[in-house]
């Protein structure tokens, strides 16, 4: 497998762990000194940091397990990435990808079954967030790990109490 494909797979594992709210799997993708910073868009191609950075895979794990909103019953999220730009220089790499996060809400099956005429998937899927992942990786003992991960959101964020 090529380095570019292995690097793209790191991002695929990252988004799947995010969707599952699996802090152990997500934290394992980062080095102990990795820096993760969320940014919000303030103008054309301008972003400002939002909140304090997370430092290390253990902090990423803690954040996923304690700060990410749990999915409601019948709900989930679905992160999709596209247009991956990957540059490899020896044991260092840079990855930039577009991301769209979809909010998925499955309809509850009525006790008496679906009404006549119901067909196909029942519920809603709607875009919720968009932006870019800008990520630096390093090959350590043959495995690509994230050393810097910037989440560049297209919209501002609101967090209660902040």
> What pLDDT sits at residue 69?
87
CA distance 147 to 66: 22
Whether 159 is in a domain gets the answer: no
Domain membership flag for residue 96: yes
Beta bridge partners of 78: 102
- Tell me, what CATH number does 21's domain have? 3.10.450.50
What's the CA gap between 104 and 72, in Å, rounded? 10
Query: Quick check: is 71 in a domain?
Result: yes
Provide the domain limits for residue 77: 3-153
Q: Are 145 and 137 in contact (CB under 8 A)?
A: yes
φ, ψ for residue 101 (rounded to 5)?
-105, 125
Q: In the chain, which residues have pLDDT < 50?
A: none
How many domains are there within the chain?
1
Q: Look at residue 156 in the predicted model and tell me its pLDDT.
A: 87
Is residue 97 included in any domain, yes or no?
yes
pLDDT for the residue numbered 157: 83
- Is 160 within the bounds of a domain? no
Q: Are 18 and 63 in contact (CB under 8 A)?
A: no
The three state secondary structure string of the chain is: CCHHHHHHHHHHHHHHHHHHCCHHHHHCCEEEEEEEEEEEEEECCEEEEEEEEEECHHHHHHHHHHHCCCCCCCEEEEEEEEEEEEEEECCEEEEEEEEEEEEEEECCCCCCCCCCCCCCCCEEEEEEEEEEEEEEEEEECCEEEEEEEEEEECCCCCCCCC
Q: What is the pLDDT of residue 158?
A: 79
The reported pLDDT for the residue numbered 122 is: 94
Assess if residue 139 is contained within a domain: yes
């Amino acid at each position: 497998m090529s380095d570019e494909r292995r690097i793209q797979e790191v991002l695929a594992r990252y988004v799947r762990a995010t969707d599952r709210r699996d802090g152990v799997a997500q934290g394992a993708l980062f080095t102990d000194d990795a820096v993760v910073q969320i940014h919000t868009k303030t103008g054309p191609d301008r972003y400002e940091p939002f909140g304090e950075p997370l430092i290390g895979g253990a902090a990423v794990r803690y954040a996923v397990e304690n700060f990410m909103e749990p999915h409601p019953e019948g709900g989930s999220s679905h992160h999709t990435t596209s247009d991956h730009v990957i540059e490899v220089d020896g044991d260092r790499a840079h990855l930039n990808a577009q991301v769209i996060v979809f909010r998925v809400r499955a309809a509850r099956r009525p006790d008496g079954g679906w009404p006549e005429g119901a067909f196909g998937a029942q519920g809603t899927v709607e875009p919720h967030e968009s932006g870019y992942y800008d990520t630096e990786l390093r090959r350590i003992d043959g495995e690509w790990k994230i050393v810097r991960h910037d989440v560049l959101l297209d919209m501002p964020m609101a967090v209660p109490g902040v």
